[in-house]
């Protein structure tokens, strides 16, 4: 299974469309600008839906841009070889997407004023969506069954590692604290998990 991936910092990435040198350069040298909008998610969490919504907001509801320019050009994937090339040449404000976990994110992000939207999805839904996606693509080895894919999912054999470690414990706690503060004025019945 490990031969089917490109490994960077102990995390698996697809072989097609990704290069070790590009990911390394993204993490160390890519400059995220203050006016950028960054969508970050674990794969199969709804990034494309959000990108389509953001593109509609950006174009003030005009669908010409969305119908004429592919999604990977409107919001290039930062860590992919093609996405990185597009983003390096593009002037701001830029819309970019990434599946990188935060500990691999470009260092410039943490000192910028860029807006980030982190998308989280129930891991059961991520698992099922990922399984069906990987059974119809030719990007990597296909799972023989949902059970096999579940084992891979738990072992972290997906793009950019495993779901549970996409955020570190400290980042998850910081996110939860900010979330609690921002949602303090809303009725408690909106949040049944509390």
What amino acid positions are annotated as catalytic residues?
Answer: 99
- The residue written with tokens 């004023």 in the block is 113
What sign for the dihedral angle of Cα 146, 39, 119, 178? positive
36 forms beta bridges with: none
CA dist 108 → 18, 26, 75, 139, 185 (Å): 21, 10, 19, 30, 33
Q: Which tokens belong to 48?
A: 């494309």
Q: What does 116-141 look like in DSSP terms, one character per residue? A: EEEE---HHHHHHHHHHHHHH--SSP
CB < 8 Å & 24+ apart, contacts of 173-181: 175/118
């Amino acid at each position: 299974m490990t031969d089917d991936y490109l490994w960077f910092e102990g995390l698996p990435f697809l072989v097609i469309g990704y290069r070790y040198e590009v990911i390394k350069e993204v993490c160390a040298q890519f400059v995220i600008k203050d006016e950028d909008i960054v969508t970050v998610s674990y794969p199969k969490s709804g990034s494309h839906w959000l990108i389509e919504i953001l593109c509609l907001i950006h174009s003030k509801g005009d669908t010409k841009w969305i119908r004429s320019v592919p999604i990977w050009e409107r919001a290039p994937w930062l860590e992919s070889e093609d996405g990185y090339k597009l983003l390096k040449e593009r002037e701001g404000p830029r819309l970019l997407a990434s599946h990188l976990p935060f500990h691999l994110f470009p260092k410039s992000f943490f000192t910028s004023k860029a807006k980030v939207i982190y998308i989280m999805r129930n891991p059961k839904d991520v698992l099922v969506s990922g399984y069906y996606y990987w059974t119809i693509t030719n990007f990597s080895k296909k799972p023989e069954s949902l059970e096999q894919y579940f084992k891979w999912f738990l072992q972290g054999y997906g793009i950019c590692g495993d779901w549970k470690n996409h955020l570190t414990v400290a980042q998850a706690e910081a996110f939860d604290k900010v979330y609690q503060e921002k949602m303090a004025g809303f009725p408690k019945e909106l949040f049944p998990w509390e």
